[in-house]
Amino acid sequence: MSASSLIPHLVADKVQQFVEEECIPSDALFRAQLGEGAQRWSTYPPIIDQLKARAKKLGLWNIFLSKTHYKEGAGFTNLEYGLIAEQLGKSLVASEVRLTFPPKAGNMEVLAKYGNDVQKREWLAPLLDGQIRSAFLMTERPVASSDATNISLTMRREGDEYVLNGSKWWSSGAGDPRCRVYIVMGKSNPTHQDPFKRQSVILVPAGTKGVTVKRMLSVYGYDDAPHGHAEIIFENARIPASNLVLGEGRGFEIIQGRLGPGRIHHCMRSLGAAEHALEWMITRVNDPSRSTFGKQLNEHGVIIEWIAKSRMEIDAARLIVLAAAHKIDTSDAKGALKEIAEAKVIVPQVSLAVIDRAVQSFGAAGVSQDTPLATMWAHQRTLRIADGPDEVHLQQMGRNENKRAKALQKKLEMQRNKAEALLRQHGIQAKMHL
């Protein structure tokens, strides 16, 4: 059965059923199989492969590439896949199993869109098949990488090779024992006069000499094993020039093409997490054992207002994301710049607020390992930082909106002139003050 033959809302229903009945119940086993200490980075929870097999059988494997832009795609638009992605956000393991998970989905998109045939054969095929994993290496600790022109890892051409020196961090997925390839952004042409043409992207096999995983980073105490977030050191690492993607100086082009649809997925999974948190909250406040001072929690007006606001905020945020997805579908990521930025900023704020209310409704249980809430919150918190902090997006949106100034000044000037003329016609000698 081909996924592309499926009707979108039936797939969304099927995914929801798979997530709720198979993935969520597997989250505890996944955690148990991960274990403690160093083992978390050396083994791979077997439940993942079992669920992957189930997903393949259900025709839900690799359905994330949009039909609009990729021929390998399952045939869904960004909007349709957005609705599917939301379901995945409800389960820790569902993001793994699947189906799709940034940065890996984004990585596959990069290879599908920009890789040559050899690169696709070597890396994309096993990635799509789930045999290997990849990591995208962009951010660097010593510089402010939200401005990508600051990237400082050097790529020096020597004969048929590039020699890489520098470091990367927040290389998500690099902790996974199955991770085989790093997609690395470096500075290959540091003196090019256009600062956006100094960067290139190259494929670095894991285990290459001179490439060391230095340590794993934590997110509010969570190590996010097995994929994890690594700091990786490059010391004279030599990579065949044939591993270059698209061509020298085209790094920006590649990362920009990657951001649009990936952000839709991120946002929709984020809302899935918020929906799941709301489900937990409602369950909690209707638990008769949680009475205080003679009242069940659902009898408190403040709690009911939390539920109402959560419902309302999730619904509003979802519309924003779907509008952005639709804009990408009918235009492209560049044409949907404003809508994507709006979704990128609003969604994590909503999810964090909803999850935090859920935490509060659970009291101490909410911050502990006994609910999925604390883990979810920590993960969502990174979305206000990853791919550029809120503040950078707000400044860009604000400056773009502010470009209307000249036209608006002209319009208000016209209105003022007409108003004064009209007053004069009626014998009133007034002047509009502003």
DSSP states along 171-202? EETTTSTTEEEEEEEEES-TT-SSGGGSEEEE
Q: Are 249 and 197 in contact (CB under 8 A)?
A: yes
Tell me if 401 contacts a second copy by CB under 8 A: yes
Q: Of these, 11, 26, 81, 264, which contacts a second copy (CB under 8 A)?
A: 26
Q: Of these, 94, 213, 320, 325, which contacts a second copy (CB under 8 A)?
A: 320
> Residue 198 and residue 405: Cα distance in Å, rounded?
33
Q: How far is the CB of 336 from a second copy (least distance, A)?
A: 12
Distance of CA 381 to the CA centre of its chain: 12
With contacts defined by CB under 8 A, name the span among 63-71, 102-110, 123-131, 295-303 that binds a second copy. 295-303
Tokens representing 191 are 């003196």
Tell me if 316 contacts a second copy by CB under 8 A: yes
Q: How far is the CB of 361 from a second copy (least distance, A)?
A: 9
CA angle 191, 192, 195 (to 5 degrees): 100
Tell me if 418 contacts a second copy by CB under 8 A: yes
Nearer to a second copy, 119 or 310 (CB): 310
Q: How many residues bind a second copy (CB under 8 A)?
A: 124
Q: Of these, 80, 257, 280, 355, which contacts a second copy (CB under 8 A)?
A: 280
Q: Of these, 150, 236, 242, 330, which contacts a second copy (CB under 8 A)?
A: 150
- Residue ranges in 363-382 that form contacts with a second copy under rule CB under 8 A: 363-371, 374-375, 377-378, 381-382
Which residues, in sequence order, are bridge partners of residue 386?
none
Q: Of these, 1, 2, 38, 207, which contacts a second copy (CB under 8 A)?
A: 38
Q: Of these, 169, 182, 234, 252, which contacts a second copy (CB under 8 A)?
A: 169
Distance set, CA 118 to CA 126, 232, 254, 316 (Å):
13, 26, 18, 44
Tell me if 36 contacts a second copy by CB under 8 A: yes
- Residue ranges in 332-361 that form contacts with a second copy under rule CB under 8 A: 338-339, 342, 345-346, 359-360
Helical spans, DSSP H, in 247-372: 251-285, 301-330, 337-362, 364-367
Q: Of these, 3, 8, 16, 33, which contacts a second copy (CB under 8 A)?
A: 33
Burial of 34 from C-beta contacts in 10 A (0-12 / 13-18 / 19+): middle
Tell me if 233 contacts a second copy by CB under 8 A: no
Nearer to a second copy, 73 or 106 (CB): 106
> Residue 110 and residue 173: Cα distance in Å, rounded?
16
Q: Of these, 305, 331, 334, 335, which contacts a second copy (CB under 8 A)?
A: 305
> Residue 253 and residue 130: Cα distance in Å, rounded?
27
> Residue 26 and residue 65: Cα distance in Å, rounded?
26
Nearer to a second copy, 58 or 378 (CB): 378
Q: How many residues does the chain have?
A: 434
Place of tokens 């990367």: 168
Binding string, residues 170-199; x marks residues near a second copy by CB under 8 A: x-----------------------------
With contacts defined by CB under 8 A, name the span among 66-74, 158-166, 185-193, 410-418 that binds a second copy. 410-418
Question: Which residues, including other chains, have CB under 8 Å from residue 228's CB and lie 6 or more apart?
Answer: 41, 172, 173, 174, 175, 176, 216, 217
Place of tokens 């600790």: 141
Q: How far is the CB of 249 from a second copy (least distance, A)?
A: 20
Q: How far is the CB of 266 from a second copy (least distance, A)?
A: 15
- Residue ranges in 208-227 that form contacts with a second copy under rule CB under 8 A: 217-223
Helical spans, DSSP H, in 7-155: 8-18, 27-34, 39-42, 46-57, 78-88, 92-97, 104-114, 117-119, 125-129
